[in-house]
Amino acid sequence: MKKMLGIFRGFPGLGRVVSGVSLLETLKEQYGCDIKIITYLQGNRYLESKGYSDLNEASTMDYCSIGLLPTNKMGAYIHRTINKFEPDVVVVDGEPLMIQSIKISHPQVKVVVLLNPADVDNPNNDKEAMDFFNHLYSMSDIAIIHGLRRICPPNSYKACISVGTIIRKELLNIGNKAQKNIYCLLGGGTVNVGHHFSQSTVRIGKLCLDVAYSLPNYKMHIVCSSQNIYDALNENLLSPNTFLYNHVLDASKYYSDACLVITRSGRNTLSELAYLGIPAISFVSGCSYRKEEQKQNINSLSATNIVSASIDISPDEFKGLCLKAITFNKSKSRFECGNTIAIKKILSL
């Protein structure tokens, strides 16, 4: 029985967690692997929503803007876990410093790194920063780059593949029977972010609150995923057809009965919507770094069911866009996810 350990950055949102968790759960359920998952902050909230317990939490001294610090308490916990669990493979997403530390202290362990295309190729980030990240990522035994565009990494990488986004396994066979439910998914990316990003998130939520009043025959579900955004929106007077959530919802639930999904232009959610073919409105917003990546995501996506919207759109214009999107004729998806190829590559180690 192969042992697999996953280490996934738990902030600012869930983009570094959901794909990795899905891969490890598939390896457990379909291939009999023994798995263990380590994450923190929003990542732990996601694991709790899936029934996981006995989770270790990081303190503010354990991480910086690029992830965990290998020499602090959470890093030490990971090294103790490796010594005790003795994994054959460690799958890492969003933790470049931990890759280096694992390769120094546990050279016998195979390391797989999961990457967003923007982790490897992003002209909007400083060249020196990209050189640093690519150097650390290239220490892995194999890099799985998954997203909305295919790229070739620098020659320093030992081995790599570039595939479509890894979709959550529970969504692969889901059927959408649209009812009059509109879901606004504000994502988990509102913890440890700048003021501008939080404010733009609140702006999207308030647009949905305004539209809910003018569309009384529809239920508007606003999924905040973090308490600070929930509190900001809950200060406003809610219409009877509005439902506000301060926790992560089961994706199978909202994707199964949504007639429209409103979201940001993040890689994971856009890929899920493209795969399922559900009508969607996607906002490009946040800091300049995030905006550029989101624009790149939209430009790389050839899905007719998803339309882009500006954060500066008026409530009346937004209402019109919602009604137009709802009438979109759902078509069979052509989106190719990277799950199967990624699983085969991990097992090949």
Q: What's the CATH number where 13 sits?
A: 3.40.50.2000
Q: Residue 16's CB: how many other CB atoms inside 10 A?
A: 24
pLDDT tens for 293-326 read 666 776 777 778 888 898 899 999 999 999 999 9
Q: Are 266 and 293 members of one domain?
A: yes
Q: Are 113 and 250 members of one domain?
A: no
Max CA-CA distance within the chain? 61
Smallest CA-to-CA distance from 288 within 280, 278, 296, 279 is with 296
Cβ neighbours for 228, distance < 8 A, ≥ 6 positions apart: 190, 191, 198
Q: Are 10 and 119 members of one domain?
A: yes
Q: Residue 282 domain-assigned?
A: yes
Q: Are 198 and 295 members of one domain?
A: yes
Q: Are 15 and 139 members of one domain?
A: yes
Residue 188: φ, ψ to 5°: -90, 0
Confidence band of 246 (pLDDT split at 50, 70, 90): confident
Q: Residue 335 domain-assigned?
A: no
Q: Residue 338 domain-assigned?
A: no
Q: Residue 173 domain-assigned?
A: no
pLDDT tens for 153-184 read 889 999 999 999 999 999 988 888 999 999 99
Lowest mean pLDDT segment, chosen from 111-115, 207-211, 248-252: 248-252
pTM for this predicted structure = 0.88
Residue 187: φ, ψ to 5°: 75, 170
Q: Are 133 and 224 members of one domain?
A: no
Cβ neighbours for 127, distance < 8 A, ≥ 6 positions apart: none
Q: Residue 344 domain-assigned?
A: no
Q: Residue 321 domain-assigned?
A: yes
Domain count, the chain: 2
Q: Are 28 and 120 members of one domain?
A: yes
- Give the structural domain span for 252: 181-326
Give, as one character, the DSSP assignment of residue 81.
H
